[in-house]
Amino acid sequence: MSDTVAVILAAGQGKRMRSRQPKVLHRVAGRCLLEHVLAATREAGIKNSVIVIGHGAAEVKAALGPEQTYAWQEEQLGTGHALAQARQAAGGAESILVLCGDTPLIRPATIASLVKEHQATGAVATVLTACLDDPAGYGRIIRDEQGRVRAIVEERDAAPAERAINEINTGIYCFTASFLWPALAQLRPDNNQGEYYLTDVIALAVNQGLAVQALACDDPEEILGVNDRVQLAAAGAILRRRINTTLMLAGITIVDPASTYIDASVTIGPDTTIYPGTFLEGHTIIGANCSLGPGTTVRDSQVGDGSELIHAVVLASTVGPGCHIGPYAYLRPGTVLEAGVKVGDFVEVKASRIGRGSKVPHLTYLGDTTVGAGVNVGAGTITCNYDGRQKWPTTIEDGAFIGSNANLVAPVRVGAGALVGAGSTITRDVPAGALALARGRQVNLPRRGKKDDAERQEKG
Ligand code: UD1
Ligand code: CA
């Protein structure tokens, strides 16, 4: 479809969102609205896209990146005016596919069939329509007795009989360039909103005796436009349901899809089970036969086959196969767990590597730490990695055993097979195989207070 350019209208403020952020940058299922539309366009095989920006243009550009083609609409004078701004950037393309940046549910297959239909029929304009039980807020499709499309009327400009029509304009069209560009120049803002309506080009074509076609979209869900936060939530729910359905059909068990939040960018291996309240976000790869949740967040991380995470938060980390994480564990960015590691309850790990089969079962903080294989870190162990100015590393070599409630004051190294006594504050390196004790020696004294009490009771 190299003769086709997609123009995505995204210059409006989105007043009904009541947001300081441009509407098209609001996010659902891990992407902003505009990115969903762009992705669908790309997946439909359309390589060239122009994004019309205006309100919040700098923010939109920053979010989408400099590799996109942008057109600039200085004043938001309406959808027709917005499209006219893309003329130069669209170059000499024959077919102009128009989409709105606020319709994130449109499917690639629908876009492809619209373009195909347009090019097959020779119409100058082909509009994607849908029949809705509640058409409120959308432009209505006006047809004549023969069923031919005559015009699109915006709800605000519609007569009561026109408002009763339930076939609506999805805001997605394909136009023939040689008709479109001159037609846009003829638009007049003589309507309720005083805007240059793109929808008016349909009546212009009809008046010129040119063919206009409509293609009905079977799934009305696809065309939901997001104008306010209620619709934002509705679109999010539909996107999540689609993602979850695809995953379930691919062999992943999702115990309660309605309370499971997975971004489109996440991949998951078969026979993994996901419990409610789980969020899988960003560039995350989950292996096969895992068990995630309940109440688990994994963002921009990898989890190996057969690992189990319960009430865990994992950010920008790598969890090897066969690991057990949680409940209530927090893996912060830069954490790498090798195979078969256990990170148990109330443990925080940051920028650390933990070797094969090592265990950090409870109440521990490991920061900037390298832990070898087969290490046991006792309950309440803290790496004191920060001196108030700088972070320092800790190394615990293979087979070491750290007793409960130890403080390891970094920089420090505990050698292979060494034993650190419970309650020790370790400030110097421990040689391999050594026993390190760094705590006050216990003394047992008679309980003075107790003796006095007993004498007093005897006298009294
Ligand atoms: C528009 C259509 C309506 C259709 C609906 C489908 C018009 C006049 N109306 O209405 O028939 O049913 O979409 O969702 O076209 N935009 C600009 N510059 C502007 C104005 C808008 O770029 O000056 C962009 C917006 O950012 C948005 C898109 O165009 O992405 C649609 O604008 P919006 O105001 O949401 O139009 P609707 O009222 O929804
Ligand atoms: Ca809209």
Angle formed at CA 327 by CA 324 and CA 333, multiple of 5 degrees: 70
What does the pLDDT read at residue 420?
A: 98
3-state secondary structure of 59: helix
pTM: 0.89
**Which ligand does the CA of 138 lie closest to?**
1
Q: Which residue is catalytic, options 26, 36, 311, 362?
A: 362
pLDDT digits (tens, 9 = 90+) for 81-110: 999 999 999 999 999 999 999 999 999 999
For residue 331, the CA-to-ligand 1 centroid distance in Å is: 44
Pair 16, 140 in one domain: yes
Best substitution site from 25, 55, 100, 221 to test ligand 1's pocket, by max atoms within 8 Å of Cβ?
100
Ligand 1: atom nearest CA of 12 is: 26
Q: Whose CA is nearest to atom 22 of ligand 1?
A: 11
Backbone angles phi, psi at 142, to 5 degrees: -100, 120
For residue 227, the CA-to-ligand 2 centroid distance in Å is: 5
What does the pLDDT read at residue 407?
A: 98
Pair 300, 331 in one domain: yes
E strands, 376-449, are 376-377, 382-384, 394-396, 401-402, 407-409, 412-414, 419-420, 425-426, 435-436
What does the pLDDT read at residue 449?
A: 73
Q: What is the mean pLDDT of the chain?
A: 96
Residues with CB under 6 A from ligand 1: 9-12, 52, 73, 76-79, 81-82, 100-102, 138-139, 152, 154, 168-171, 197-199, 225, 227
For residue 184, the CA-to-ligand 2 centroid distance in Å is: 19
What does the pLDDT read at residue 157?
A: 96
CATH at residue 77: 3.90.550.10
pLDDT digits (tens, 9 = 90+) for 169-182: 999 999 999 999 99
Ligand 1: atom nearest CA of 197 is: 8
Counting the structural domains of the chain, the total is 2
Instruction: Name which residue leads in pLDDT, 225 or 349.
Output: 349
Confidence of residue 448 (pLDDT cuts 50, 70, 90): confident
Which residues form the domain of 263?
A: 229-436
Pair 76, 125 in one domain: yes
Pair 62, 186 in one domain: yes
Q: Is 36 considered catalytic here?
A: no
What does the pLDDT read at residue 240?
A: 97
Cα–Cα distances (Å) from 325 to 150, 292, 320, 451, in that order, read 62, 10, 11, 50
pLDDT digits (tens, 9 = 90+) for 125-139: 999 999 999 999 999
Backbone angles phi, psi at 211, to 5 degrees: -75, 135
Confidence of residue 65 (pLDDT cuts 50, 70, 90): very high
pLDDT digits (tens, 9 = 90+) for 268-327: 999 999 999 999 999 999 999 999 999 999 999 999 999 999 999 999 999 999 999 999
Residue 453 lies in a domain: no
Confidence of residue 453 (pLDDT cuts 50, 70, 90): low
